[in-house]
């Protein structure tokens, strides 16, 4: 009986692990790796702790969720209810992103935003990465 419960728990845990593997950030990381780029993750000593950093290219890749970071796409639409709350929260996120990008530039880094909705097609994503790195 206990075994069954733990097996169920385990499958829940595994399901969660699998789902984190398919996040947009993981997609970008896998692709960069396959393209042969070397990178570091979540670099603490850079403004905003960028998701992915390519030291050789002095480039910081910020993988942004469309909703939380306010992309102008259908996933970035703001909720119609509780608007005061959401507008305040999402405006603060956008503002923070803007400041982090400015700070990165000032520190000599090129910030590149990749939106979650751009991570669904690999060919397109590869183009975005190559353009960002001037390759
Ligand atoms: Zn989007």
CATH code, domain with 39: 3.40.960.10
Domain contains 9: no
Q: How far is the CA of 19 from the centre of ligand 1 (A)?
A: 19
110 membership: H or E segment, kind and range:
strand 110-115
Q: How far is the CA of 21 from the centre of ligand 1 (A)?
A: 19
Q: How far is the CA of 118 from the centre of ligand 1 (A)?
A: 7
Q: For 48-92, what is each residue's pLDDT tens digit?
A: 999 999 999 999 999 999 999 999 999 999 999 999 999 999 999
Please give the Cα distance from 36 to 32 (Å, whole number). Answer: 6
Q: What is the mean pLDDT of the chain?
A: 90
Domain contains 8: no
Please give the Cα distance from 43 to 107 (Å, whole number). Answer: 14
More confident residue, 47 or 134: 47
Q: What is the pLDDT of residue 135?
A: 81
Q: Indicate the Cα dihedral angle 44, 92, 118, 38, nearest 10°.
A: -10
Number of structural domains in the chain = 1
Domain contains 7: no
Domain contains 14: no
Q: How far is the CA of 49 from the centre of ligand 1 (A)?
A: 21
- Provide the residue range defining the domain that includes 97: 20-132
13 closest CA partner among 5, 2, 23: 5
φ and ψ at residue 99, rounded to 5 degrees: -65, -45
Please give the Cα distance from 59 to 43 (Å, whole number). Answer: 12
Q: What is the pLDDT of residue 16?
A: 62
Q: How far is the CA of 89 from the centre of ligand 1 (A)?
A: 18
Please name every residue paired with 40 in a beta bridge, in sequence order, or none if there are none: 53
Q: How many CB atoms lie within 10 A of CB 37?
A: 18
Full 3-state SS string of 67-80: HHHCCCCHHHCCCC
Q: How far is the CA of 117 from the centre of ligand 1 (A)?
A: 4
């Amino acid at each position: 009986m206990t075994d069954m419960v733990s097996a169920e728990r385990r499958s829940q845990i595994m399901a969660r692990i699998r789902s984190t593997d398919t996040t947009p950030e993981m997609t970008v990381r896998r692709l960069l790796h396959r393209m042969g780029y070397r990178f570091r993750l979540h670099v603490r000593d850079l403004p905003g702790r960028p998701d992915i950093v390519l030291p050789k290219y002095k480039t910081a890749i910020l993988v942004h969720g469309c909703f939380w970071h306010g992309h102008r796409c259908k996933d970035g639409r703001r909720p119609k209810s509780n608007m005061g709350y959401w507008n305040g929260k999402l405006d603060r996120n956008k503002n923070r992103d803007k400041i982090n990008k400015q700070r990165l530039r000032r520190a000599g880094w090129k910030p590149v935003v990749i939106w979650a909705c751009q991570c669904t097609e690999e060919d397109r994503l590869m183009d975005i990465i190559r353009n960002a790195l001037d390759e």
